[in-house]
Each structure stands twice: as structure tokens, then as C-alpha cells.
């Protein structure tokens, strides 16, 4: 666990900085890649629900701190998502990249929709909008789908990074077992 945290915490800090500073200037079709969230999801897919929960908390808090948003909002969302993704039994028959991509994209899609819903509820409750209305079609076409495309592109390097970390840890475990 310590090794994973030592690798993923700096990685998520760097990704958080990039996501909040560099990528907003490099919008592709009005979307920004969700680097930290994709990392949390992919790591959770490889390392299970408990690690997913922890990575979710860490990644979400990093993003909350960097965006100076209400602390804990992203952390809660990421932690729950990481926890849920960790339940997919990858080690047995799900260890295929397209499946991982599908799972992570599904998570990104859900996160985007939930974020939009929460944002609308928040605006309505604070009185910023007079009545509760949602433009789901517009959000899907103009924000969520371009975001998914962007996230699918950045998923690949993150997937291979997580896989190599996972294999490295597995090798270490095997060596320890052989040694003992």
C-alpha cells in the first residue's frame, strides 16, 4: 500500500496541477480532461475497492485544495466511485484494456452527470436559478461527450502506468513468497 501511495500521490498532485492550470487553456471541444478522476478510476480498477477508496479520497482532496472549492466534495465523489470500481473482479477475467476503458468511461460519464445534477440542485437551493430545470441534451453533447473523448485519450498512458505498477508489485509479492 505504501509503495502505491508513494507513486500515486505525487502523480495525482502533478495531474491535479495540470488539470487546474494547463488543460483549461487547452480545451478540446469545450472540454477539459479529468486527469485525476481517470487516475483514481484506473488505479481502483487495478488495485481493488479499498485502494480505490483511498485513492479517491486523496485525489479528490488534491483537486479540492487546488481548485479551492468546498473541501470534500470531489473527495466524496471520487472515493465512492473508486470504491465501486474496485469491485470489478479484474484479476479473474476482466483484465482487458477495452473493458477497463469501458468501466472508466462509464465512471466518468456517471461522475459528470452526477456533478451536473448536484450543481443544478445547489444553484436551485441557493436561489441562483428560479426553477429547477436541466438541459441534459446540451450537457451531453457539449460537455460530457467531448470530455469522454478527451478522457479516453488520456486513459491509455494512465492505464499502462497502473498496469506496470501492478505487475511490479505482483512480482515483488511473488519473490517474497518464493523467498519465504
Partner 1 sequence: MKFLKSKWVKLCIVCVVLIGVILFSANPNSPIHFIYKGISVPLQPLQSFFSGVGNRFSKAADYFFHYDTIEQTYQQIEEENDQLKSERQDIEALQEENEELRTLLGMAAENADYDCIVANVIANDTEDWFTTFSIDKGSNAGIAISDCVVTSKGLVGKVVAVAPTSAKVMAIVQEESTLMGRLTKTNDLVRIRGMENLGMDILCKMDRVDETVDLAVGDQIQTTNSEELYPAGLVIGTVKELVEENNQRYALVEPAVDFRKLDKIMVMSKKEE
Q: Where along the sequence are the contacts to partner 1 (CB under 8 A)? A: 13, 17-18, 20-26, 49-50, 53, 57, 64-66, 68, 70-73, 75-76, 79-80, 83
CA dihedral 57, 59, 63, 65 (to 10 degrees): 60
* Backbone angle region of 29, left / alpha / beta, with phi > 0 → left and psi within -120 to 50 → alpha: left
Smallest separation, CB 169 to partner 1 (Å)? 20
CA dihedral 7, 13, 19, 21 (to 10 degrees): -140
State which residue, 70 or 177, has the beta carbon closest to partner 1: 70
Going by C-beta distance under 8 Å and a sequence separation of 6 or more, which residues neighbour residue 150? Answer: 28, 29, 31, 32, 33
State which residue, 20 or 112, has the beta carbon closest to partner 1: 20
Smallest separation, CB 130 to partner 1 (Å)? 22
Smallest separation, CB 37 to partner 1 (Å)? 16
Enter the DSSP assignment of 28.
B
3-state SS, one letter per residue, for 126-175: CCCCCCCCCCHHHHHHHHHHHHHHHHHHHHHHHHHHHHHHHHHHHHHHHH
Smallest separation, CB 31 to partner 1 (Å)? 14
Smallest separation, CB 171 to partner 1 (Å)? 26
State which residue, 23 or 159, has the beta carbon closest to partner 1: 23
State which residue, 46 or 83, has the beta carbon closest to partner 1: 83
Please provide residue 28's backbone torsions phi and psi, each rounded to the nearest 5 degrees: -115, 115
State which residue, 27 or 136, has the beta carbon closest to partner 1: 27
Amino acid at each position: 500500500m505504501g509503495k502505491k501511495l508513494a507513486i500515486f500521490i505525487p502523480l495525482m498532485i502533478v495531474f491535479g496541477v495540470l488539470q487546474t492550470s494547463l488543460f483549461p487553456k487547452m480545451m478540446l471541444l469545450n472540454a477539459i480532461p479529468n486527469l485525476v478522476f481517470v487516475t483514481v478510476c484506473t488505479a481502483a480498477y487495478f488495485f481493488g475497492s479499498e485502494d480505490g477508496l483511498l485513492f479517491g479520497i486523496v485525489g479528490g482532496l488534491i483537486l479540492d485544495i487546488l481548485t479551492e472549492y468546498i473541501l470534500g466534495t470531489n473527495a466524496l465523489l471520487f472515493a465512492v466511485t473508486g470504491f465501486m470500481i474496485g469491485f470489478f473482479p479484474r484479476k479473474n477475467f476482466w483484465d482487458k484494456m477495452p473493458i477497463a476503458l469501458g468501466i472508466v468511461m462509464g465512471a466518468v460519464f456517471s461522475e459528470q452527470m452526477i456533478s451536473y445534477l448536484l450543481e443544478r440542485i445547489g444553484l436551485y437551493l441557493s436561489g441562483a436559478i428560479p426553477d429547477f430545470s436541466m438541459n441534459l441534451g446540451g450537457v451531453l453533447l457539449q460537455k460530457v461527450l467531448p470530455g469522454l473523448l478527451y478522457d479516453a485519450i488520456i486513459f491509455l498512458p494512465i492505464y499502462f502506468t497502473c498496469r506496470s505498477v501492478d505487475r511490479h508489485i505482483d512480482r515483488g509479492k511473488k519473490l517474497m513468497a518464493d523467498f519465504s
